[in-house]
């Protein structure tokens, strides 16, 4: 469901930014501001940004942190209709005190692990697909690998 309670067969007109925001599950303070499709390069680039007025806090002490700098980052995401897909954002680094020590830390984005270069969903799929090559006696297999094989009961 893209938004609200939809009646079966009802279509909702939306911009590609709205569409990608919904399917990627990106929510405030983050938003998608632009989606570029490069047919020749077979690439989709999704640009996101965070509300510049967002207040950031230390995860343990809950004390407010101060903005240190912005860094443009890019993450590889699952292909969109066989087009390479990247998510790009300027990510804030903040300064906060942990006791008497001042720390600088990049804020984690909701679609990827901190300091990772790929999205959580892409990492999950790669991990699950790698299990397809593992022996069936492998105790680490997961139900998703079974669904990929068309067999829910893969051990």
Per-residue pLDDT tens over the stretch 54-85: 999 887 788 889 999 999 999 999 888 889 99
Residues 6+ apart with CB under 8 A from 81: none
What residues form DSSP beta bridges with 97?
Answer: 102
pLDDT at 124: 84
Per-residue pLDDT tens over the stretch 23-45: 888 999 999 999 998 989 999 99
- Helix then strand then coil, % of the chain, to nearest 5: 20, 35, 45
User: Are the C-beta atoms of 148 and 128 separated by less than 8 Å?
Assistant: yes
User: Are the C-beta atoms of 149 and 133 separated by less than 8 Å?
Assistant: no
User: 74-79: long-range contacts at Cβ-Cβ below 8 A with a sequence spacing of 24 or more?
Assistant: 74/117, 75/109, 75/111, 75/112, 75/116, 75/117, 75/118, 75/119, 76/117, 76/118, 76/119, 76/122, 77/24, 77/46, 77/111, 77/118, 77/119, 77/121, 77/122, 78/119, 78/121, 78/122, 78/125
Q: Would the pTM of this model clear 0.75, i.e. be above it?
A: no
Query: Does the pLDDT value for residue 150 go beyond 60?
Result: no
Q: Where are the alpha helices (DSSP H) in the chain?
A: 16-24, 120-130, 143-149
pLDDT at 114: 84
pLDDT at 135: 58
**Percent of the chain surpassing pLDDT 70:** 75
Per-residue pLDDT tens over the stretch 83-132: 999 999 999 999 987 777 888 989 889 999 888 898 988 888 877 777 66
pLDDT at 5: 54
Query: Does the pLDDT value for residue 148 go beyond 50?
Result: no
**Rounded to an integer, what distance in angstroms lies between the CA atom of residue 33 and that of residue 16?**
10
């Amino acid at each position: 469901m893209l938004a609200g309670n939809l009646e079966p067969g009802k279509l909702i007109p939306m911009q590609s930014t709205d569409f990608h925001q919904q399917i990627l599950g990106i929510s405030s303070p983050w938003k998608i501001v632009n989606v570029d499709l490069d047919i020749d390069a077979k690439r989709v680039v999704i640009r996101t940004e965070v509300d510049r007025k967002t207040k950031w806090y230390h995860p343990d002490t809950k004390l407010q942190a101060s903005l240190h700098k912005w860094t443009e980052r890019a993450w590889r995401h699952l292909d969109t209709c066989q087009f390479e897909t990247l998510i790009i954002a300027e990510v804030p680094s903040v300064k906060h005190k942990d006791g008497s020590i001042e720390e600088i830390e990049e804020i984690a984005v909701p679609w990827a692990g901190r300091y990772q270069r790929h999205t959580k969903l892409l990492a999950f799929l790669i991990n699950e697909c790698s299990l397809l090559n593992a022996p069936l006696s492998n105790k680490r297999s997961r139900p998703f690998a079974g669904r990929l094989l068309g067999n829910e009961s893969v051990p």
